[in-house]
Structure 1
Amino acid sequence: MTSRRRFLAGLASVGVAGLAGCSGLPFVEGDDEREYVELPRDAAGSIEWPDSPFPVAVPPTLADSHRERAETLLASVPTDPSVPNGAIAEELRTDRERTAERLDEAADDPWPTDRLETWRGRRHEAATVLGAYRAATGEDDAEEVETQRRSVRDAFGSLAADHEYRASSPLEAVLAHEPIEALLADCRGRTRPNPAYPDDPVAHPFRAGDAVGRVELARATLADAARVRSVYLTERDDPPSRWTALIDASDRLGLAVSRARSTVRDFLDVYEPPFEADLDGTPATALFRRASGQVSASADEYEERRDDGDYATAVIEAGQALAAVEALRAAIEGIRGDGYQDPVSVESVRETADRARDAIDAIDESDDVRLAARLARPALETFEYLPEYIEDGYVDAARAQGDLAWAELYARAVPPATAFVIERME
Structure 2
Amino acid sequence: MTSRRSLLAGVASAGVAALAGCAGIAPWRDDETDRADVDLAPDAVEPVERPASPFPVAVPSSLAAAHEERARGLLETVPAEPSVPNAAVTRRLRNERERAADRIENGVDRPWPTERLAGWRGTRSEAATVRGAHRAATGEHDAAALEERRRTVREDLASFAAGHEYRARSPREAVLAHAPVEDLAATCRRRVRPVLTYPSDPVARPFRAGEAVGRVEHARASLADAIGLLEAYDGERAETPSQWSALIASADRLRAAVYRSRSRVGEYLGDDTPPVDDDLAGTPARRLYDTASGRAESLVEETRERVDDGDVATAASAAGRALAAVAALETAVEGIRGDGYREPVTAESVERAADRAREALAGVAESDDPRLAARFAEPALGTHAYVVDRLDEGYADPVRVQGDLTWIDLHARAVPPATRFVLERLERLGRSAE
Q: Is the 8 A contact 2:134 2:206 kept in 1?
A: yes
Structure showing greater Rg: 1
1:327 is aligned to 328
Equivalent AA in structure 1 for residue 397 of structure 2: D
- Counterpart of 1:126 in structure 2 is 127
Name the structure 1 match of 2:201. 200
Q: Which residue of 1 aligns with 2:234?
A: 233
* CA distance in structure 2 between the partners assigned to 1:261 and 1:331 by the alignment: 14
More deviation, 393-402/196-205: 393-402
Number of the residue aligned with 1:135? 136
Q: Is this contact kept in 2: 1:120–1:220, CA < 8 A?
A: yes
* Paired AA for residue 416 in structure 2: P
1:43 and 2:50 aligned: no
Report the equivalent of 2:425.
Answer: 424
Cα displacement (A) at 1:140: 0.9
Contact 1:287–1:402 (8 Å) recurs in 2: yes
The answer for unaligned runs of 5 or more in structure 2 is 1-33, 428-434
Separation in 2 of the partners of 1:274 and 1:337?
Answer: 11
Q: How does 1:90-129 map to 2 (within 5 A)?
A: 90-129=91-130
- 1: CA distance, partners of 2:283 / 2:35: 13
Kept in 2, the 8 Å contact 1:56–1:232? The answer is: yes
> In the alignment, residue 349 of structure 1 is paired with which amino acid?
V
Contact 1:170 1:245 (C-alpha < 8 Å) held by counterparts: yes
Return the alpha-carbon distance in structure 2 between the equivalents of residues 68 and 99 of structure 1.
13
SS of equivalent residue, structure 1 residue 126: helix
Q: C-alpha distance in 2, partners of 1:248/1:133?
A: 50
Deviation of residue 370 (structure 1)? 0.4
In the alignment, residue 55 of structure 1 is paired with which amino acid? Answer: P
Match of 2:280 in 1: 279
- Aligned partner of 2:189 in structure 1 is 188
C-alpha distance in 2 between matches for 1:321 and 1:206: 38
Deviation at 1:394, TM superposition (A): 5.9
Q: How far has the Cα of 1:75 moved from its partner? A: 0.6
Partner of 1:62: 63
The amino acid that maps onto 1:138 is G
What is the aligned partner in structure 2 of residue 260 from structure 1? 261
What residue ranges of structure 1 are gaps of 5+ in the alignment? 1-32
Contact 2:292–2:329 at 8 Å: present in 1 too? yes
1:45–1:350 CA contact under 8 A, matched in 2? no
Change (3 A) 1:76 1:47: same
- Asked if the contact 2:36/2:399 (under 8 Å) is kept, the reply is no
Q: 1:239 offset after TM fit, Å?
A: 1.1
- In structure 1, the residue matched to 2:252 is 251
1:161 deviates by: 1.2
SS at 1:45's partner residue? Answer: coil
Contact 2:288 2:407 in 1 (8 A): yes
| Alpha-carbon distance in structure 1 between the residues aligned to 2:62 and 2:351 | 39
Conserved 8 A contact 2:275-2:337: no
The answer for the alignment partner of 2:349 in structure 1 is 348
Q: Distance in 2 between matches of 1:269 and 1:107?
A: 34
Q: Which moved more, 1:376-385 or 1:324-333?
A: 324-333
- Residue 43 of structure 1: CA displacement? 2.4
* Counterpart-to-counterpart distance in 1, 2:102 and 2:36: 41
Q: Which amino acid aligns with 1:108?
A: D
Structure 1 Cα separation of the partners of residues 306 and 424 of structure 2: 21
Cα-to-partner distance string for 1:30-58 (whole Å, 9 max, x where unaligned):
xxx99622333332221000000000010
Q: Distance in 1 between matches of 2:62 and 2:294?
A: 38
- Distance across 2 between alignment mates of 1:314 and 1:340: 33
Mapping of 1:77-96 within 5 angstroms? 77-96=78-97
Please tell me the residue identity of whatever aligns with 2:386: Y
Whole-angstrom distance in 1 between the partners of 2:248 and 2:286: 38
Amino acid at match of 2:89: I
Q: Kindly indicate whether structure 1 or structure 2 has the higher relative contact order, using CA contacts under 8 Å at least 6 residues apart.
A: 1
Give % identity: 57
Q: In structure 2, what is the equivalent of residue 177 of structure 1?
A: 178
In the alignment, what sits opposite 1:406?
A: 407
Match in the other structure for 1:153: 154
CA distance in 2, matches of 1:166, 1:255: 25
Residue 269 of structure 1 corresponds to which residue in structure 2? 270
Question: Which AA in structure 2 matches 1:96?
Answer: R
Q: 1:201 to 1:325 in 2, by over 3 A?
A: same
- Tell me the amino acid that sits aligned with residue 357 of structure 2: A
**More deviation in 169-178 or 325-334?**
325-334
Aligned equivalents of 2:254, 2:121: Cα separation in 1: 33
SS at match of 1:158: helix
Q: Aligned partners of 2:347 and 2:74: how far apart in 1?
A: 47
* CA distance in 2: counterparts of 1:255 and 1:146, whole angstroms: 41
TM-score, normalised to structure 1, is: 0.90
Q: Which amino acid aligns with 1:132?
A: A
**1:333-412 alignment runs, 5 A limit:** 333-390=334-391, 395-412=396-413
Residue 387 of structure 1 and its aligned partner are, at CA, apart by: 3.0
Q: Is the 8 A contact 2:67 2:124 kept in 1?
A: yes
Offset of residue 250 of structure 1: 1.3
User: What one-letter code is carried by the residue in structure 1 that aligns with 2:232?
Assistant: V
Per-residue CA deviation, residues 252-302 of structure 1 (Å, 9 max, x unaligned), is 111211111101122223202121433111000111111111111111110
Q: What is the distance in 2 between the residues matched to 1:425 and 1:290?
A: 29
Counterpart of 2:60, as a letter, is P
**Deviation (angstroms), 1:395:** 5.0
Moved more, 38-47 or 265-274: 38-47
Deviation string, structure 1 residues 343-372 (Cα, Å, up to 9, x no partner): 112232122111101011111211101001
Give me the TM-score of the superposition, normalised by structure 2.
0.88
TM-superposition CA deviations, 1:83-123 (whole Å, max 9, x none) = 11111111101111111111111311111001000000000
**Is the Cα contact below 8 Å between 2:320 and 2:422 reproduced in 1?**
yes
Instruction: Determine the C-alpha separation between the residues in 1 that align with 2:180 and 2:83.
Output: 42
The number of residues matched between the two structures is: 394
Question: Is the 2:166–2:174 contact (alpha carbons within 8 Å) kept by the matching residues of 1?
Answer: yes
Aligned with 2:46: secondary structure? coil
Q: Is the 8 A contact 2:121 2:218 kept in 1?
A: yes
